[in-house]
Structure 1
Amino acid sequence: MNIKSLLIGSAAALAAVSGAQAADAIVAAEPEPMEYVRVCDAFGTGYFYIPGTETCLKIGGYARFEVKIGDDAEIHDIVDNNHSSWDAGSQAYLTFDAKSDTEYGTLTGYIAIEGDLDNSSVQAFYVDEAYIQLGGFKAGQYYGPWDKGLNGETDDIKGGALFNSISYTYEAGSFSAHVALDEIENKTTHPNGVGVTGLVTAALGGVSIDLLGSYDTEVEEGSIRALLSAEVGPGTFQLAGVWASDNNAYYNEAEWAVAASYAFKATDKLTITPGAQYWSDVAFAAGVDQWRVGLTVDYAITEGLAAKATVNYTDNDLTDGSTTGFLRLQRNF
């Protein structure tokens, strides 16, 4: 065999081996196209499209640390028999707000989860709100109109507000009307309670007024409240009055009460709010009155982080005067 034949044979062998290896070669699959999260600006800031859908989702909430002072101070009303003059606690709040457009209006699904943390052996973690809303119709457990109070932390004009409810809200510019049927089970001594709530709100310029009324069908008692808010100078002045025919699921603090506050915006970051309230026939006990004065200071430390401090003095006809308050640090997102 000469050199030429050897070279030709070697080349043929290499070609055969290369062909066999080429036939067995592994070809990498093409990567799947990545679907990036898209920003949804149809319902405000913070929403994004759930991948593969036309539903917009917003995740929010806050983390809070608070120190409370006063007799038998308890941050989360967790009974620990400590009876201390101060208490520290933390709270976590997480919200999920899903929205989409439909032929009947905006469809909303909302869930709020709360966790209350204290040194007590009892901890609280629960779903605070969960509701469905389509246009003006709303059904689920959520905070109703009685949850609204005055600026600051001095007043006590809120009442029973968290129920399983069915409601409808009509809005027409600066006017709105709200009506709701509330399940008030376990809010009074009757197990099958049903309540009716109505609210009318009107606004003109820097002035707005709320007229709120509720009726507890089980005890056949009701409550009404009026709240006025007006932009005055560098702040907001608010005045409210509430009356109840007797103890009911919506308001049970007193037969009637009046409260006022003025939120003075000292700077872009600092708001100072003095407030006062007077109660007549506290707990519907004839002749037992009570008054309170207080001051609340809010300071925006930086974007998403705020501090709040309040101190209140309360005087009741049957007890000695007492001073209470809290210092709070809260990170919103």
Structure 2
Amino acid sequence: MNIRMMLLGSAAALVAAPAFAADAIVAAEPEPVEYVRVCDAYGTGYFYIPGTETCLKIEGYIRFQVNVGPNAGGTSATNDSSWDAVTRGQVQFTAKSDTEYGPLTGVIVLQANADNATDQDTILDSAYLDVAGFRAGLFYSWWDDGLSGETDDIGSPVTLHNSIRYQYETGSFYAGLSVDELEDGVFQVGEDPNNVGVAFGIGGTAGAFSYQITGGWDFDNEDGAIRAMGTAEIGPGTLGLAAVYSSGPNSYYANAEWAVAAEYAIKATDKLKITPGVQYYGNYLGSIGSDAVVPDDFDGLGDAWKVGLTVDYQIVDNFYAKASVQYLDPEDGDDVTTGYFRLQRSF
């Protein structure tokens, strides 16, 4: 009887074992999946960063360009050819979120340039924060603006500064003031390249007409510049006019004591734009790079004139070609012809 009871007990235990094992396994609840949501509060291209209420936009471009002109490849003994191919890749990250003061914006722009496989550089092209009209960081000044073609030469030698500015904006008008560190600007003889300046910008649109007035005062060089630009839609294109005056070479404008420029951007077809342009310089000093030492004034310098043509063609959406040729004839130097051909894909 004892053996029979033992066998029956063992059989019952074997039958019950799977039930006990099944009760011990508990299936885990699947983790909720959060898909990327489109953010349409700030325009196209934004999406919510998962788990946050911050909207992010990623954009940029890839550019291939062939430059043509004297020493287009540089002045070194190994690269003094009259043409040079360069490639650029740029990515911009823009983050926005709502606050009690309005949208809080943060922008980071990374740019990589390659002259060849070994001669390359990656730079921080911009990085700034913006809220309620206040902006602080590394960004381009109003002096970076110009006419739509490539002939005009009415901007600062260096337009990317560490700055603080306030800009008031409406739909058709803006006005602002900025304080700029001009550490890599130009400096007159006896001055150090550790500078500060104050600039202002006023602009807007009125129907088919747009305008901009920009000024700046360079405290270390004790000189300033002022510039006015305007465009108007006339006939099959847009007429652009600009004038600039500088009291002396400074970080806001140093190429000449004064200059006037004009262009007419012809919209030949939906994809083709042709822009002839011309500029005249009074007391022409010449194109100035960063950290350049310049004279105290423009006295005794000759004049110069420049003429050019720029052609833009949109191959397909977000992919276009640009070709430009420019001729410069300075009174105090040799005339020079330069140009480039560019392919660019934006995203």
Q: Fold match, TM over 0.5?
A: yes
In structure 2, runs of 5+ residues without a counterpart are 286-297
Alignment of 1:291-306 (within 5 A): 291-306=305-320
Q: Answer whether contact 2:278 2:307 (CA < 8 A) is retained.
A: yes
| Structure 1 residues 66 and 78, CA gap change in structure 2 (3 angstroms) | farther
Distance in 1 between residues matched to 2:174 and 2:43, nearest whole Å: 21
1:8-37 per-residue CA deviation (whole Å, 9 max, x = no partner) reads: 99974652233244245x443222111011
Q: Answer whether contact 2:301 2:332 (CA < 8 A) is retained.
A: no
User: 2:146 maps to what in 1?
Assistant: 149
- The secondary structure found in structure 2 opposite 1:146 is helix
1:18-76 per-residue CA deviation (whole Å, 9 max, x = no partner) reads: 3244245x4432221110111111111101111111111001111110001111114xx
Alignment of 1:304-319 (within 5 A): 304-319=318-333
Distance in 1 between residues matched to 2:149 and 2:242, nearest whole Å: 13
1:246-295 per-residue CA deviation (whole Å, 9 max, x = no partner) reads: 11011111111111111111111111111111111111352411111111
TM-score under structure 2 length normalisation? 0.88
Distance in 2 between residues matched to 1:276 and 1:224, nearest whole Å: 20
Q: Answer whether contact 2:319 2:343 (CA < 8 A) is retained.
A: yes
- The secondary structure found in structure 2 opposite 1:16 is helix
Alignment counterpart, residue 326 of structure 1, candidates 340, 344, 347: 340
1:167-203 per-residue CA deviation (whole Å, 9 max, x = no partner) reads: 0001234222110011112323424411010111132
- The secondary structure found in structure 2 opposite 1:151 is coil
1:99-120 per-residue CA deviation (whole Å, 9 max, x = no partner) reads: 1111111111111011110127
Alignment of 1:57-72 (within 5 A): 57-72=56-71
Distance in 1 between residues matched to 2:26 and 2:279, nearest whole Å: 78
Q: 1:108 and 2:124 equivalent? A: no
| Structure 1 residues 9 and 192, CA gap change in structure 2 (3 angstroms) | closer
User: 2:159 maps to what in 1?
Assistant: 161
Distance in 2 between residues matched to 1:200 and 1:304, nearest whole Å: 31
Distance in 1 between residues matched to 2:75 and 2:159, nearest whole Å: 20
Distance in 2 between residues matched to 1:168 and 1:241, nearest whole Å: 25
- The secondary structure found in structure 1 opposite 2:17 is helix
- Alignment length, in residue pairs? 328
Distance in 2 between residues matched to 1:66 and 1:184, nearest whole Å: 29
Q: Answer whether contact 1:71 1:85 (CA < 8 A) is retained.
A: yes
Q: Answer whether contact 1:129 1:142 (CA < 8 A) is retained.
A: yes
- The secondary structure found in structure 2 opposite 1:31 is coil
One-letter amino acid matched to 2:22: A
Q: 1:289 and 2:284 equivalent? A: no
One-letter amino acid matched to 1:55: T
Q: In percent, how many aligned pairs have the same letter?
A: 54
Distance in 1 between residues matched to 2:181 and 2:76, nearest whole Å: 27
In structure 1, runs of 5+ residues without a counterpart are none
Q: Answer whether contact 2:88 2:113 (CA < 8 A) is retained.
A: yes
- The secondary structure found in structure 1 opposite 2:220 is coil
Q: Answer whether contact 1:170 1:178 (CA < 8 A) is retained.
A: yes
Alignment of 1:1-333 (within 5 A): 12=12, 15-24=15-24, 26-74=25-73, 82-119=79-116, 121-159=118-156, 160-187=158-185, 188=187, 189-283=191-285, 284=298, 286-333=300-347
Structure 1 residue 307, shift from structure 2 partner:
0.7
- The secondary structure found in structure 2 opposite 1:323 is strand
CA RMSD of aligned residues (A): 2.3
Q: Answer whether contact 1:149 1:157 (CA < 8 A) is retained.
A: yes
| Structure 1 residues 264 and 162, CA gap change in structure 2 (3 angstroms) | same
Structure 1 residue 308, shift from structure 2 partner:
0.5
Distance in 1 between residues matched to 2:174 and 2:260, nearest whole Å: 24
